[in-house]
Chain A
Amino acid sequence: MSAAIHVAFVGGQAPRWSDALLAGVADVFPNPVRTLAVPVELAACFVPSRRQHHAALVLAALLRHLPDPTAKVLGIVPVDLFIPVLTFVFGEAQLDGPGAVVSTHRLRTEFYGLPSDEGLLVERAIKECVHELGHTFGLVHCRVYDCVMHSSTAVDEVDLKRSELCGQCASALEARGWK
């Protein structure tokens, strides 16, 4: 499986920690990881009644810019994302599909009234990006609490887990033909 992973920073310029994020993703997946510029207009995905951006709409917009059918595209947005039934999501992915999106909005310490901590933000962003990409490679949530594929519904759960796949999830990926 050598599908390229295209990382698109949507809604502004790539942050200064973008290289660290790409390196973190490349540490887990041996696929080529590269940035992709996409003209996605986040405003079109804004839902005034929720004052949030609709994750499914952002994902759909990203997929229109998929470089090739075998590639994976991962959008990283600074805005707060939701899906209709939930109050928010850290990210959204297509299980065994090409696209995923991650929001850094609630990964920032400032969101919780704490001083800015860029190092922690990068760490959290890498974990969420690897997690959502894992879904695009067909992985479901893992019961191992510190596996990156463990479900996180709060930021402290993101902090608890590592940025790596546990042995079982790594084996599951291998079984699917990923080396």
Chain B
Amino acid sequence: MNARRILIVDDELSVRGSLEEWFREDGFLVETAEDGPAALRAMDRGPYDIVLLDLKMPGMDGIDVQKRVREIDPAATIIILTAYASVETAVQALKLGAFDYVTKPVDPDDLSNLVRNALRTRELAEENVRLKEKVTELTQPEPVVAVSAKMQHVMEMVRTVAETDSSVVIRGESGTGKELIARSIHAQSRRRYLPLVAVNAGSIPETLLESELFGHEKGAYTGAQYRRKGKIELAHGGTLFLDEIGDISLKTQIDLLRVLETHRFCRVGGNQEITSDFRLVCATHTNLEKQVEDGRFREDLFYRINVFSIEVPPLRERPEDILPLARCFVEKYARAMGKPIGKLSPEAEAVLLACRWPGNVRELENAVERAMVIGKGPVLDVHDLPVTARNGAGDEPPERSLSAMEKTHIARVLEDSGGNVTKAAKVLGIDRATLYNKLRRYGLKR
């Protein structure tokens, strides 16, 4: 650990000398200054962990020196030392940001504790800065690939809205990356050091959603053995991401509207009002306007949440993003799986480009992940890709007949079994002869 540095500013030689010796014995690197101008010159040789400053000095007094020291090093930890104690000067020094104030002569135990506390506070402040940097680094969402003009426009809107506290509705087909966009908004907002709490309203039964959002008190209902904070409360200071907002019931819509208007709510089974300062970002794959027309979504809530709307285009409308996304996923899974696969073959890239990707980015990612599991060489090739991708799934609506589905399924299992008919038959639960018959019937090759 580097030695800590202290600057002692006092016009009395005996005080400077004794403090210098005291702090040197404590392992500090000590600098001294006999007056304000000398202190400011010494600041150029800083920074110091602690500046111990006499309040009454000829010429420039301690308060003036304190102001100038602060200008030079806003993070300086200043302890005021004076023989003339007065509440006014103490308050003034503290208002100007001094760490503390002691009167000469000071009890050694008090000085020792004061310096220890000042150092600890400084260390915590420095640690806080480091942790914030780390949090920013760790909470950066996966980069949004936005090569196409459409996605660049989306990202422009993200940057614009991130600076505000307005509610946002992110619309788009399933798998287009709406949550990633929500995380991107949060990560660029002033709320980024506090949590983004995500709730998928579509995946939680209506009976549980209320408790999930608002929390509950002990005994609120059978099985509520403990008080539990809801997602809205947990999102205090941060962002609440409510996915599939179009799926919530009219009753919960009323409760949500009230929270959005007042930022106050009660836990289920409780009567104590809780305040939560959160920013709401919603997502939906449904047409909310249509739901309002049909009376399935409250109009007042719609206008409350739809302050800013971002439409994430489906992947088929932005083919320029397909290959950059695919390359991004190759890198991601190569890292995660520890495989030395670095790129896609030109043929594989052509297949990916030809596909319509009805499941959007999620489907593309799954296809690449699956190919990475199978892939052996340094390059992902066409045969590593799933059959659906190779067949350009989504070009036409998939055949729904039982035989078509059987054909696709057999082809997939056979491929997963590396062309081994015995293995594939075992997986399919049929004997080898039956499988051979089916392969012949569907024109499938091993």
Q: Which residue from B26, B106, B112 sits with its C-beta under 8 Å from A85? A: B106
The answer to whether A82 and B105 touch across the interface, beta carbons within 8 angstroms, is: yes
The answer to whether A95 and B12 touch across the interface, beta carbons within 8 angstroms, is: no
Tell me what chain A mostly uses at the interface: helix, strand, loop, or mixed.
loop
> Could you tell me the distance in whole angstroms from the C-beta of A162 to the nearest C-beta in chain B?
19
- Assuming the contacts A83-B22, A141-B25, asked whether A56 and B108 have C-beta atoms less than 8 A apart, the reply is no
Q: Which residue from A56, A86, A95 sits with its C-beta under 8 Å from B24? A: A95
Distance, CA A94 to CA B17, complexed state (A) = 11
- List A15-53 residues whose CB lies under 8 Å from chain B: 50
B27 near A: Cβ within 8 Å? yes
Instruction: Write the chain B residue with the least CB distance to A95.
Output: B24
- For A87, the chain B residues whose CB sits under 8 A away are 105-108
B19 near A: Cβ within 8 Å? yes
Q: Which of A50, A86, A135, A151 has its CB near the most chain B CB atoms (within 10 A)?
A: A86
- For B105, the chain A residues whose CB sits under 8 A away are 50, 82, 84-87
The answer to whether B21 and A92 touch across the interface, beta carbons within 8 angstroms, is: yes
The answer to whether B15 and A84 touch across the interface, beta carbons within 8 angstroms, is: yes
- Assuming the contacts A56-B18, A86-B22, asked whether A153 and B112 have C-beta atoms less than 8 A apart, the reply is yes
In the complex, per-residue mask of A61-105: 1 if CB is within 8 Å of any chain B CB, else 0: 000000000000000000000111111110011110000000000
Q: Which residue from A50, A85, A95, A140 sits with its C-beta under 8 Å from B15? A: A85
Distance, CA A57 to CA B15, complexed state (A) = 13
Q: Which residue from A55, A85, A88, A140 sits with its C-beta under 8 Å from B27? A: A140
- For B21, the chain A residues whose CB sits under 8 A away are 83, 92-95
In the complex, per-residue mask of B216-232: 1 if CB is within 8 Å of any chain A CB, else 0: 00000000000000000
- For B14, the chain A residues whose CB sits under 8 A away are 56, 83-84
Instruction: Write the chain A residue with the least CB distance to B52.
Output: A85
The answer to whether B18 and A153 touch across the interface, beta carbons within 8 angstroms, is: no
Q: Which residue from B25, B104, B109 sits with its C-beta under 8 Å from A135? A: B25
> Could you tell me the distance in whole angstroms from the C-beta of A48 to the nearest C-beta in chain B?
15
Instruction: Write the chain B residue with the least CB distance to A154.
Output: B109
- For A153, the chain B residues whose CB sits under 8 A away are 107-109, 111-112
Distance, CA A55 to CA B17, complexed state (A) = 12
B81 near A: Cβ within 8 Å? yes
Distance, CA A86 to CA B20, complexed state (A) = 12
The answer to whether A84 and B18 touch across the interface, beta carbons within 8 angstroms, is: yes
- List A128-175 residues whose CB lies under 8 Å from chain B: 135, 140-141, 151, 153-154
> Could you tell me the distance in whole angstroms from the C-beta of A140 to the nearest C-beta in chain B?
4
The answer to whether A83 and B18 touch across the interface, beta carbons within 8 angstroms, is: yes
The answer to whether A85 and B24 touch across the interface, beta carbons within 8 angstroms, is: no
Instruction: Write the chain B residue with the least CB distance to A84.
Output: B14
Instruction: Write the chain B residue with the least CB distance to A157.
Output: B109
- Assuming the contacts A56-B14, A83-B18, asked whether A88 and B24 have C-beta atoms less than 8 A apart, the reply is no
- For B26, the chain A residues whose CB sits under 8 A away are 140-141, 151
The answer to whether B12 and A86 touch across the interface, beta carbons within 8 angstroms, is: no
A-B contact pairs, 20 of them (CB 8 A): A50-B105, A56-B17, A82-B105, A85-B15, A86-B105, A86-B108, A87-B105, A87-B106, A87-B107, A87-B108, A88-B108, A92-B21, A93-B21, A94-B21, A95-B21, A95-B24, A140-B26, A151-B112, A153-B108, A153-B112
Beyond A86-B22, A92-B21, 16 additional pairs, beta carbon < 8 A: A56-B18, A84-B12, A84-B14, A85-B10, A85-B106, A86-B18, A86-B106, A86-B107, A86-B108, A88-B107, A135-B25, A140-B27, A141-B25, A153-B109, A153-B111, A154-B109
B residues with a Cβ closer than 8 A to A are: 10, 12, 14-15, 17-19, 21-22, 24-27, 81, 104-109, 111-112
